[in-house]
Amino acid sequence: MTNGTPLNGLGMEFFIDHSRCIGCRACMQACEECDTHRGVSMIHLEEIMRADSVQTAPQVCMHCEDPICAQVCPADAIKKTADGVVQSSLKPRCIGCSNCVLACPFGVPKYKAEINQMMKCDMCYDRTSIGKRPMCATVCPSGALTFTTRENIERTRQGVAIREWQFGDEVVRTKVNVLVPRSVHRIDVTVEQIGRTKTDEYDVATLLAGD
Amino acid sequence: MAKPPIAIPELVAEFGPKLNRTPVTGWTTDVQADKLVKTHCCFCGQQCGIQLKVKDNRVIGFEPWEDFPFNQGRLCPKGVKRYMQDEHPDRLKAPMMRREGAGFVPVSWGEALDKVADEIRCIQQTYGNDAFALLGGASLTNEKAYLMGKFARVAVKTANIDYNGRLCMVSAAAASKKIFGIDRAANPWSDIPLAKAILVAGSNVAECAPITTHYLWQARENGAKLIVTDPRMTPIARNADLYIPVRPGGDIGVFNGMLHVMIERGWINRDFIAQHTTGWEQVEETVRKYTPEYAAKIAGVPASMIVKAAEIWGPAPTSFLLHARGIEHHTKGVQNCMAAINLVVATGRIGREGCGYGMITGQGNGQGGREQGQKCDQLPGGRDIENPEHRKYIASVWGVPEESIPHKGLSMIPIFEAIHAGKIKGLMAISSNPMVSLPNSAYIREALEKLEFFCQIDFFLSETARYADVVLAGSLMEEDEGTTTNVEGRVIHHQKAVDPPGDARVDWRIICDLAGRLGAGDKFGFASPREMFEELRVASKGGVSDYYGITWDRIDREMGVFWPCPSPEHPGTPRLYEGARFNHPDGKAHFQPVEWKPAAEETDSEYPIVLTTGRVVSHYLSGTQTRRIGALVDQYPQPLCEIHPLLATKLGIADGDFVRVESRRGSVTVRASVVKTIRPDTVFVPYHWPLDRAANNMTVRAIDPISNIPEYKICAVRVSKVPEPHDAIAELEVQAGGVR
């Protein structure tokens, strides 16, 4: 199956709008509550540079079309479902080698030493398979995480939903969409950007010196 | 003698706060809930719909409630983890009495209630009825808020009852009443996404009202421009079209400056003003001198920001103002709100789709808690306790002689001043934790220590309950039933999920039992909260906040009903002031001219930095509940002092250093968080923690002359780097006031 195949026949997809995120962590707190992995969050929130800005970014699994985590897994412990969800590692197979942790371009898989296993977001497969929306995208108070139809997103959001990323020479297509300005068609992630982002615009002292 | 019976660390060891980290059934997929109870979160005034999972009379988890229209399943971390306050190891399960040197020992309800009634009688016989005071709370249901007001006037017969909404909504309330004659957000939140200009004045929406964020972002998707004023760049300010980093206390500069520019550019609705308002001339006269340059000096921001704000707000076809504690927690809190609301009235953009304003309630029942008569100057239905007609009507509902109803009493801060002055000798409090929530903590502690008798109704032993002679084990929201009124004025129904544990009792039964012991049992024969609501409906009938047409059945059927709702056939009133009909006798809105004035305590060479206080997203108010939930404490474990790198460098402070923040009244020692997202002349410390971590150790006991709200948002401090503290309090767990 290809990306975007309707989950449960409802045409629902996952959308992230980073500009909406308020860093409240309701997503992580709710993720902990899910029936299959209760008490452990499978997603995380990045504080971009707290000293400079309050910007935050929620990180769920992007569910790559051709998941690198699964490719590099020597134990074949990471499976993709027919509808495109990349599942957490299979307990009997995972050997805790952390290849996936190192390989994922989004930093999603986490090695849990206490159980010697990698665990990650499976888009609440237990919920979506019975017609419920994923926990994080249900509770998110800002709409930064949304689980809805593409049609609904196009009707209610100014940005455009894309799911194609460029990491150096590598193009990665994901099941999860991100909302970006209409001029953007692919997110180009280059290593050079790190540390060079201009953050003065968020410095209150700079703003006060405005006139 | 109301001092803690044993040392604080010993009390903490026994009563917490300890952290609840796992559901009572453990983290397992095996347990199926018996039922899902559709109810509401108790952790802020938005009152989001939520479903609690219940098994064997225990709350074991939650499930989003996507059908409830206000939040459609959305929750903040407090809502997600709220169920962890249930089945908690710290839960009080029996009434207790203080034993010097031994702590608090369980007693029977008979003994505890007899003791409280005896003490009330004894103090009143010796010192007069008003020597016993009551404190209610805005986290109480409407039914309980109503009951507290009636209990004070009919059973205890004291004038001195007030509530902790005094620390929350009273400036907003007074401003709205002065201008429009009604104290309520003018619009349902569904109007926000329809507005083309939005001004958020002094509200950290992302952390204090997270669900409102979605409404703001939806407005922006629809093309709205968002203006945010705040001394800190909060998460919503980051993405605002215009962020104005206003100086604490400089808000009137922004508002009057905007109005000045709007007049100059002709962005005033003069037809509306002529037909539907009074007092415009004085406002126009007042703002004449508030040129952008003059206003900018007051606001402490570049003049261009004020002009730009006017350019966004002035010509917009529709607009929405949201204000909160950032402009309200001031000795000029009412003035700040009125100056902001003048911007709404001057454009005539109110009472129609996408046009209006709201004040963001902080406490769970921040709206309803201020209507049912637990304020010192108020009778049910938002009635005036000094108005002879109002007194007569309520006397008839209660079946008491009008002259038996006490007159206006003292508000919350003056109650504590009267305790210091020896005029108030006894106190009973519910839903309130003044040791953390009131300004100048040392002064509050001394007051509690002076009391001859202090009784607290509580579900956990709060920092204030430690000073009690008798602690009565009451109920959590989900252990009882009742209504609250959300931020929009929507009356909603909290369903009971479980019974109170052990020997704990529902709050209203405790109060009714006490009323019986005080000889007023015939007026408190309620068999259920529903019966109280039925009496409340009648008591509110014809008042400003008229609930008469609202029934619990209607609430359940209609997903809440907006007051005023004067008859059962009435649809309720989501949007006030339609057709520009305002609630003053002349039907007009009354402009209020506002002049800026300084704060009670401005900075000086000795204390050169402004301290402003507020909340973080994972904690609620004084933390009595959220400092007991592991996941919420992990998210923000201890208060941090936010300080700009320019100021930090000058003071030799690096990120993570311990700093002492000190005012003339007290200090805290906390870690520094060096961030560029705050004004360099201001530091911020959140207030949810007790003891040596209490931001209110520093704040000033100065109140707005109209609303009597304390000035939490401004006091003068100095900040210095100090070594890590290792005293007995510092060694406590962070949730109890320690450091990590």
Among A142-156, A195-209, B52-66, whose mean pLDDT is lowest?
A195-209
**Chain A contact for B671 (CB, 8 A cutoff):** no
Among A166-170, B13-17, B108-112, B609-613, whose mean pLDDT is lowest?
A166-170
Of A23, A33, A143, the CB nearest to B214: A143
Indicate the SS3 state at residue B630: helix
A-to-B residue pairs, Cβ atoms closer than 8 angstroms: 152
- For residue A182, the chain B residues in CB contact (below 8 A) are none
**Chain B contact for A44 (CB, 8 A cutoff):** no
Beta-bridged to residue B665, according to DSSP, are none
pLDDT confidence of residue A210: 80
> Per-residue pLDDT averaged across B264-285, rounded?
98
pLDDT confidence of residue B180: 98
Best A12, A139, A154, A197 member to test B by mutation, with max B CBs in 10 Å, is: A139
Nearest CA in chain B to A19: B239
Beta-bridged to residue A187, according to DSSP, are A165
- The interface residues of chain B toward chain A in range 423-462, judged by CB-CB distance below 8 A, are none
How far is Cα B153 from Cα B360, in angstroms, rounded to an integer?
30
pLDDT confidence of residue A199: 63
- For residue A54, the chain B residues in CB contact (below 8 A) are 233-235, 237-238, 677
**Chain B contact for A197 (CB, 8 A cutoff):** no
Among A182-196, B50-64, B276-290, B606-620, whose mean pLDDT is lowest?
A182-196
DSSP string, B438-478: SSSHHHHHHHHHH-SEEEEEESS--TTGGG-SEEEE---GG
**Chain A contact for B235 (CB, 8 A cutoff):** yes
- For residue A33, the chain B residues in CB contact (below 8 A) are 61-62, 80
> Per-residue pLDDT averaged across B521-549, rounded?
98
- For residue A51, the chain B residues in CB contact (below 8 A) are 645, 655, 674-676
pLDDT confidence of residue A191: 59
**Chain A contact for B218 (CB, 8 A cutoff):** yes
- The interface residues of chain B toward chain A in range 603-632, judged by CB-CB distance below 8 A, are 617-618, 631
**Chain A contact for B303 (CB, 8 A cutoff):** yes
Among A35-39, B125-129, B401-405, B572-576, whose mean pLDDT is lowest?
A35-39
- For residue A22, the chain B residues in CB contact (below 8 A) are 206-207, 210, 213, 235-236, 617
Apex B677 CA angle, B675 and B682, nearest 5: 85
- Reported residue count of chain B is 740
Q: Is the pLDDT at B449 greater than 60, yes or no?
A: yes
CB contact under 8 A, A53 and B28: no
pLDDT over 70 for what percent of chain B?
A: 100
Q: Is the pLDDT at B192 greater than 70, yes or no?
A: yes
**Chain A contact for B32 (CB, 8 A cutoff):** no
- The interface residues of chain A toward chain B in range 72-131, judged by CB-CB distance below 8 A, are none
pLDDT confidence of residue A48: 85
CB contact under 8 A, A204 and B245: yes
- For residue B213, the chain A residues in CB contact (below 8 A) are 20, 22, 141-143
Nearest CA in chain A to B618: A24
Separation in Å, CA of B592 to nearest CA in chain A: 30
CB contact under 8 A, B214 and A141: yes
Best A35, A142, A201, A206 member to test B by mutation, with max B CBs in 10 Å, is: A142
Nearest CA in chain A to B75: A139
Of B71, B80, B678, the CB nearest to A30: B80
Q: pLDDT averaged over chain B?
A: 97
pLDDT confidence of residue A49: 87
Beta-bridged to residue B454, according to DSSP, are B427
Q: Which of B116, B135, B103, B90 is nearest to B4 (CA)?
A: B103
Of B27, B220, B300, the CB nearest to A38: B27
CB B611 within 8 A of CB B717: yes
**Chain A contact for B333 (CB, 8 A cutoff):** no
How far is Cα B91 from Cα A48, in angstroms, rounded to an integer?
39
Residue B328's pLDDT band, with cuts at 50, 70 and 90, is: very high
Residue A1's pLDDT band, with cuts at 50, 70 and 90, is: very low
**Chain B contact for A181 (CB, 8 A cutoff):** no
pLDDT confidence of residue B202: 98
Q: Is the pLDDT at A8 greater than 90, yes or no?
A: no
> How do residues B378-403 score in pLDDT, each as one tens digit?
999 999 999 999 999 999 999 999 99
DSSP state of B151: I
CB contact under 8 A, B75 and A203: no
Query: Which strands, in side-by-side order, build the sheet including B49-55?
Result: B35-40, B49-55, B58-64
Q: pLDDT averaged over chain A?
A: 89
Q: Is the pLDDT at B110 greater than 80, yes or no?
A: yes
pLDDT confidence of residue B426: 98
CB contact under 8 A, B22 and A39: yes
Amino acid (one-letter) located at B111: E
Q: Which of B369, B298, B363 is nearest to B324 (CA)?
A: B363
Query: Helices B333-347 and B170-180 meet at what angle, rounded to 10?
Result: 40
CB B438 within 8 A of CB B412: yes
Residue A6's pLDDT band, with cuts at 50, 70 and 90, is: very low
Apex B204 CA angle, B690 and B71, nearest 5: 105
Separation in Å, CA of B435 to nearest CA in chain A: 27
- For residue B217, the chain A residues in CB contact (below 8 A) are 20, 142-143
Indicate the SS3 state at residue A118: strand
Separation in Å, CA of B676 to nearest CA in chain A: 5
> How do residues B613-647 score in pLDDT, each as one tens digit?
999 999 999 999 999 999 999 999 999 999 999 99
Apex B552 CA angle, B550 and B553, nearest 5: 100
**Chain B contact for A2 (CB, 8 A cutoff):** no
- For residue A199, the chain B residues in CB contact (below 8 A) are 676
pTM (two decimals): 0.97
> How do residues B701-718 score in pLDDT, each as one tens digit?
999 999 999 999 999 999
Over the range B216-236, which residues count as b (16 or more CB within 10 Å of their CB) and which as e? bbbbbbeebbbbbbbbbbbbb
Q: Is the pLDDT at A21 greater than 70, yes or no?
A: yes
Residue A195's pLDDT band, with cuts at 50, 70 and 90, is: low
CB contact under 8 A, A54 and B245: no
Whole-number Cα distances in Å, B490 to B146, B192, B550, B554, B620: 17, 16, 11, 12, 21
Of A20, A26, A54, the CB nearest to B217: A20
Q: Which of B409, B551, B430, B547 is nearest to B489 (CA)?
A: B547
How far is Cα B245 from Cα B48, in angstroms, rounded to an integer?
30
- For residue B80, the chain A residues in CB contact (below 8 A) are 26, 29-30, 33, 139
Among B32-36, B107-111, B388-392, B510-514, whose mean pLDDT is lowest?
B32-36
> How do residues A91-101 score in pLDDT, each as one tens digit?
999 999 999 99
Q: Is the pLDDT at A2 greater than 50, yes or no?
A: no
Of A55, A205, A209, the CB nearest to B644: A205
> How do residues B209-237 score in pLDDT, each as one tens digit?
999 999 999 999 999 999 999 999 999 99
Q: Is the pLDDT at B523 greater than 60, yes or no?
A: yes
Enter the tokens of residue B310: 């006017």
CB B342 within 8 A of CB B591: yes
Of A19, A29, A203, the CB nearest to B676: A203
Q: Where are the beta strands (DSSP E) in B495-608?
A: 561-562, 589-590
Of B236, B645, B677, the CB nearest to A22: B236
CB contact under 8 A, B213 and A22: yes
Enter the tokens of residue B232: 């800190």
Burial class from Cβ neighbours inside 10 Å (0-12, 13-18, 19+) for residue B376 reads buried
Q: Which of A79, A112, A72 is nearest to A96 (CA)?
A: A112
Amino acid (one-letter) located at B409: G
Beta-bridged to residue A111, according to DSSP, are A118
**Tokens 């952790």 belong to residue:** B43
How far is Cα B434 from Cα B164, in angstroms, rounded to an integer?
8
Nearest CA in chain A to B53: A33
Of A202, A205, A210, the CB nearest to B302: A210
- For residue B646, the chain A residues in CB contact (below 8 A) are 205
**Chain A contact for B66 (CB, 8 A cutoff):** yes
Separation in Å, CA of A169 to nearest CA in chain B: 32
